[in-house]
Homo-oligomer: A and B are copies of this chain.
Amino acid sequence: MSERRARADAEGGSTAAPSKSQRAYELLHDRIVDGTYSPGYRLVLDAIGRELDMSVVPVREAIRRLEAEGLVTFERNIGARVAEIDELQYHDTMETLSFVEGAAVSLAAGLYSKRDVDEARAINERMRASLAAFDPVQFTSLNEAFHRRLTDVSPNAVIGDVIDTCWKRLARLRQSTFSFVPNRALASVDEHEAILGLIEDGADPRRIELAVRAHRLATPDAYLQRIHPSDH
């Protein structure tokens, strides 16, 4: 839990030097999430320790933490590698996200300020633009920003952590998903707008929840087409 908090602490301490294991964690985390290390990549303790100019002990801790988050797999006497994400895991994660995002947004339903909605809408318009410019990378990144903008308003920190975890796992995969389905992307933008409309109208939270959930569930196809290019 508390990834956001943990990182905030580490940086918030300003003057206090972050521990080495924290540095190792952040480096590895970022490289996994941004795709520098792809799924299956072998994480050798010694090598990482040498690169970061530290011994294996803090590196091990960092890797154990990443393991707990599901970003790496670790086998006794064998070693660690970046976790693979198969179709089933991908699907389960997406499905989970559909439920918990729906939950978060429905909990936040009465709490959105005009500013929240305006900012989300601005992001969505930038998505539309990046779609027109056929910039899938930016589109994908804005998409996450849009969703986070909505779910971050939820006051439930535990749900927030679950959402974080899901995004992290998907990020690794999204990395290799530059090609996407324009039609679906366009539909996403419209669905986003519809969701914002529901929020502005003060619609029933449950209805908003279902809209968010349905939107999320409609998305996987775009990715799965990429994962199994032969299947179309």
Residues of chain A having any CB pair with chain B under 8 Å: 1-2, 16, 19, 21, 57, 60-61, 64-65, 67-70, 76, 88-89, 92-93, 95-96, 99-100, 102-103, 107, 156-159, 162, 165-166
| Nearest B residue (CB) for A91 | B156
Contact between B96 and A162 (Cβ–Cβ < 8 Å)? yes
A93 to B160 Cα, complex, angstroms: 11
Give me 5 A-to-B residue pairs in the complex whose CB atoms sit less than 8 angstroms apart, sorted by A's number.
A61-B64, A88-B157, A89-B158, A95-B158, A95-B159
Contact between B68 and A1 (Cβ–Cβ < 8 Å)? yes
A100 to B104 Cα, complex, angstroms: 11
State the 6 A-B residue pairs at the shortest beta-carbon distance, nearest first. Answer: A68-B68, A1-B70, A99-B103, A92-B158, A96-B158, A92-B156
Contact between B95 and A156 (Cβ–Cβ < 8 Å)? yes
Contact between B1 and A92 (Cβ–Cβ < 8 Å)? no
Q: Give min CB distance, A52 to chain B, whole Å.
A: 17
A146 to B162 Cα, complex, angstroms: 24
A184 to B192 Cα, complex, angstroms: 40
Partner of A166, one of B64, B95, B99, B158: B158
| Nearest B residue (CB) for A73 | B2
A165 to B96 Cα, complex, angstroms: 14
| Nearest B residue (CB) for A62 | B64
| Nearest B residue (CB) for A94 | B158
A127 to B119 Cα, complex, angstroms: 50
Residue among A57, A69, A107, A162 facing the most chain B CB atoms (10 A cut-off): A162
Knowing A19-B76, A76-B19, say if A95 contacts B107 (CB, 8 Å).
yes
A70 to B160 Cα, complex, angstroms: 14
A153 to B100 Cα, complex, angstroms: 19
Query: 5 extra interchain contacts, Cβ-Cβ under 8 A, other than A89-B158, A93-B158, A96-B103?
Result: A2-B70, A61-B61, A65-B67, A99-B159, A158-B166
Q: A159 to chain B: which residues have CB within 8 Å?
A: 92, 95-96, 99
A70 to B96 Cα, complex, angstroms: 20
